[in-house]
Structure 1
């Protein structure tokens, strides 16, 4: 008789989140998407926001990371620059994976130079290690992550090692009294409604516009470096408008103009396939729900109809895809 602990309904895998607090909102979204696995009895998750007042921080985190069967490393520049995440949690996770005690899964949240870290030899998710914030529709990225985790757990259900639960024949029990206390059942639904002011929305919009400009500048440079005969230029027309052009052998092939606050509302970001004029191919407007500020698309086309909420990274990627679509046909 098989003694696996990942058979649906027979037991749950302990999942540990290692992340930078700067990425807490992204971690919250990932945990929402993992709810289906929780409802099916596959996983129970833990992160440091579960620590109760008065508990020893280091001892509690150590107890959790030492008993987790799956450790999710939520990778970003903030994660890599965090001494605790990089040198303590990641190091311990990789040690446990090397000894066959757990599985370590890098999840790339934001673009960063992670491939030259000790994680470079691991298969990272989402698909092709494309950062979650670079997907036009982040929900699709989270769904892809969940599918990979589900596949990992289902594969573990066919083997007793290295995904055996603590206390099984595959490894000695590492559960301490602190771990037992922290595994007491309670809801993970602890978020409260947030509200966002006009100032918050203004900061998001203008910060995003600056991000999109940097994104285009870097992308044009890389496109030119990788493709002989291609040249790219970005021209800053004003503090609220820039243009981008791509040339093949000196001839302009595609171009666009991106601006904020022009002819719609003060926070809208517009995309035009022409350098001049007031016709737009896309308009992004700032909106908010009870958890976050985001962009929504206002042009009804098949290209932009894939998502209703965009991060600044998603907005930049969507505009870049539109610029390149003619070149990539």
Structure 2
């Protein structure tokens, strides 16, 4: 396995804006580690007015040690994700050891996407988050947060 270069320290979260609720729920599980300075999690909600948003995304992709992909039909519908986020993340996984963690949010074409389904998903594609009850969703998100914290620790 390729060692992740030392400049790659962040968590990058790729998601469709249609799945904002799932992003927010994941971030609540990560908040204590972010607040304590143990985790630098990046998603596009960190882009501020006046910033060059495409450059901000490129910089965050270049700094990613771990990437969580919130997989849904809307994720696959996004041309921006398909052309601007996935190619550099997949290349970084192949060439630099960046860890890709697909989180299956809704039923989608995940198992028919050879470049993605080769990565072990956090949950089974047969059991997406939106098909789980609340306690099972929270258990899965907590387990994912724990895994992210471990992978992003120095």
Matched with 1:271 is: none
Query: Cα gap change, 1:95/1:149 in structure 2, threshold over 3 Å: closer, same or farther?
Result: farther
Matched with 1:108 is: 104
CA shift, 1:87, in A, is 2.6
Distance (whole Å) between structure 2 residues aligned to residue 87 and residue 44 of structure 1: 24
Alpha-carbon RMSD: 2.4
Matched with 2:33 is: 37
Query: Cα gap change, 1:146/1:40 in structure 2, threshold over 3 Å: closer, same or farther?
Result: farther
Matched with 2:129 is: 132
Segments of structure 1 that go 5 or more residues without pairing to the other structure are 1-12, 158-164, 166-329
1:15–1:70 Cα contact (<8 Å) kept: yes
Query: Cα gap change, 1:154/1:115 in structure 2, threshold over 3 Å: closer, same or farther?
Result: same
TM-score (norm 2): 0.82
CA shift, 1:41, in A, is 4.3
SS in 1 for 2:96: coil
> Which has the higher relative contact order, 1 or 2, with Cα contacts under 8 A spaced 6 or more apart?
2
**Are 1:87 and 2:83 matched, yes or no?**
yes
Query: Cα gap change, 1:88/1:142 in structure 2, threshold over 3 Å: closer, same or farther?
Result: farther
- Which residue, out of 53, 70, 73, partners 2:49? 53
**Are 1:66 and 2:62 matched, yes or no?**
yes
TM-score (norm 1): 0.41
Higher relative helix content:
2
Number of aligned residue pairs: give it.
146
Query: Cα gap change, 1:152/1:57 in structure 2, threshold over 3 Å: closer, same or farther?
Result: closer
Query: Cα gap change, 1:144/1:100 in structure 2, threshold over 3 Å: closer, same or farther?
Result: same
1:105–1:123 Cα contact (<8 Å) kept: yes
Distance (whole Å) between structure 2 residues aligned to residue 156 and residue 48 of structure 1: 19
SS in 2 for 1:34: helix
Q: Deviations over 1:99-137 (max 9, x none)?
A: 1242111111111121111211111113x3421111022
CA shift, 1:40, in A, is 5.2
Higher relative strand content:
1
Runs ≥4 residues deviating over 4 A:
none
Distance (whole Å) between structure 1 residues aligned to residue 143 and residue 40 of structure 2: 16
Larger Rg over CA atoms: 1
Query: Cα gap change, 1:39/1:52 in structure 2, threshold over 3 Å: closer, same or farther?
Result: closer
Matched with 1:14 is: 10
Matched with 2:4 is: none
Matched with 1:314 is: none
Q: Deviations over 1:181-240 (max 9, x none)?
A: xxxxxxxxxxxxxxxxxxxxxxxxxxxxxxxxxxxxxxxxxxxxxxxxxxxxxxxxxxxx
Query: Cα gap change, 1:29/1:156 in structure 2, threshold over 3 Å: closer, same or farther?
Result: closer
CA shift, 1:144, in A, is 1.7
Matches within 5 A, 1:169-318: none
